[in-house]
Amino acid sequence: MIFYDPFHITLKFPDQPPFDHLKKSNSDYKVILDSGHLREDEYQDLHILWPAMFVYNIYNFWEDRSPLINTIKDVVQKTKKLNFYFNAYDSGTSPSLLFKQLLNVRIGLGLEDKDITIITGNTYDKFAIEQLLLGEGIHGIKFEIGDREIINAISDYLQYLNTCKKRFIFLCRRQTPWRNLIFFDLGRRGIMSSGNIIYTWSKIDPYSQVEEHNNTIGRLMLECLDRCPDREYASTMTKYVSENLDTICNNSPYTIPGEVKEKNKILSARDYTDFVKKTFPAVYQNTMNSLANALNSSALSLTIETQYNDDNHATLHLTEKTIRTMFFKLPFLQYANVAFLAKLRAMGFETFGDFWDESYDYEIDPYERMRKINRQVEEFNEMHWAEFHSLIAKTADVTNYNYNKLIKMTHMYSDDFREKRLNGKLQWNNGNHLLN
């Protein structure tokens, strides 16, 4: 394909349409800047480029550039098969002004309508110019729609994914030996320092409002590791905990973005004890805005359920931790009891075995179950960000399904509660007898 570029626009914008598509399809083409370099045989099938943006920005164009206009006219008259590209792709000009310029070009260069192809940057410009042409009774001009709208949208979204959307969210409000072990192991693998995660952890118990000593946290983790069957792993983690315990604990509490500011505002307006005011955010959790923003700013939830190493494997202890994740349409990896995911599926929910390995759900050994999950997190963390977010996008059908199921369950429980309350059949349970 031979292109004549009288304005030399391709030197500055080499990837403007139609060249972006030609390059993608590996098509052969040649651009000629000077009509004097056109061979006679090249006039048999020639493409001429007309940059609408460039022309619009030159005052008195038709007078100031009359020698060039005459040259283009000569080329048009000599060409046997002509495709005249009126490129309005990135013009920044209104459709009405583009249309006015098009009429001048059409008449001034002696073009036939069948030889003109208008390249617009979006569907609106195409529609508007098309209607203006029909109003003038002009038919036969072809259109190619550039993908500027799509490119801009994709570019904006990819930039958002790369700079704003974190890969993981890990919410641990209350420390326990097993939760601490999971947290420290993720830190050992570089997840917490990767910049790819929003996380919380604190050595202050939000219920008892007691700040645990570093040594106690470390001792309970080491006792847990003493029971680990894999002595090599236990040795590696023991070394990491011993070397990093004080640094990690002394920087506690770790909070989600905006949480401290939101809690400051809430606490300043109410009468709380000095302890609560000094030790928040660990002991005060009613921060809906920052929590919602954190969840919406994350792609994958690393969810720690209330029970992780519980002996009662027949029980499904489903709490707000998992439900919240599903309400925010996040896929998840689940730190929970054995067969937790299988029990979710038995309830009618879906999980993510079609997208990554969920064999950890059947791992009885709690140490190995944790390591399988954390190895999966590590693998996700090492992925190129575009590959990772492409994988997450594929889970949308599952996350939407779970969300819709939760909505139906919410209505079902709400209706059941309302009916029993109105009919006087509502009974309140006293859970103390269950402990006996």
- Interval 298-354: pLDDT, tens: 999 999 998 998 766 667 888 999 999 999 999 999 999 999 999 999 999 999 999
Is residue 424 predicted with pLDDT exceeding 90?
Answer: no
Q: Which two tokens stand for residue 49?
A: 């480029």
Percent of the chain with pLDDT over 90: 54
The mean per-residue pLDDT over the stretch 100-108 comes to 89
* 399 confidence band (pLDDT: 50, 70, 90): very high
* Strands lying side by side in the sheet with 116-120: 30-32, 2-4, 45-51, 81-88, 116-120, 142-145
Is residue 11 predicted with pLDDT exceeding 70?
Answer: yes
pLDDT of residue 328: 94
Residues 6+ apart with CB under 8 A from 258: 289, 290, 293, 294
Average pLDDT, the chain: 87
Residues 6+ apart with CB under 8 A from 2: 29, 30, 32, 38, 42, 45, 46, 47
CB 166 within 8 Å of CB 225: no
pLDDT in tens, 211-225: 899 999 999 999 999
pLDDT of residue 15: 78
Topology of domain 2-154 in CATH is Rossmann fold (3.40.50)
> Is the alpha carbon torsion for 119, 120, 123, 126 positive or negative?
negative
Q: What residues form DSSP beta bridges with 200? A: 171
* 91 confidence band (pLDDT: 50, 70, 90): low
pLDDT of residue 19: 79
Q: Of 393, 381, 395, 317, which Cα lies nearest the Cα of 351? A: 395
pLDDT in tens, 126-136: 888 999 998 88
pLDDT of residue 431: 43
Whole-structure pTM value = 0.67
pLDDT of residue 150: 61
Q: Where are the domains of the chain?
A: 2-154, 165-406
pLDDT in tens, 137-154: 899 999 887 666 666 666
Write the DSSP string, 396-427: HHHHHHHHHHHHHHHHHHHHHHHHHHHTT---
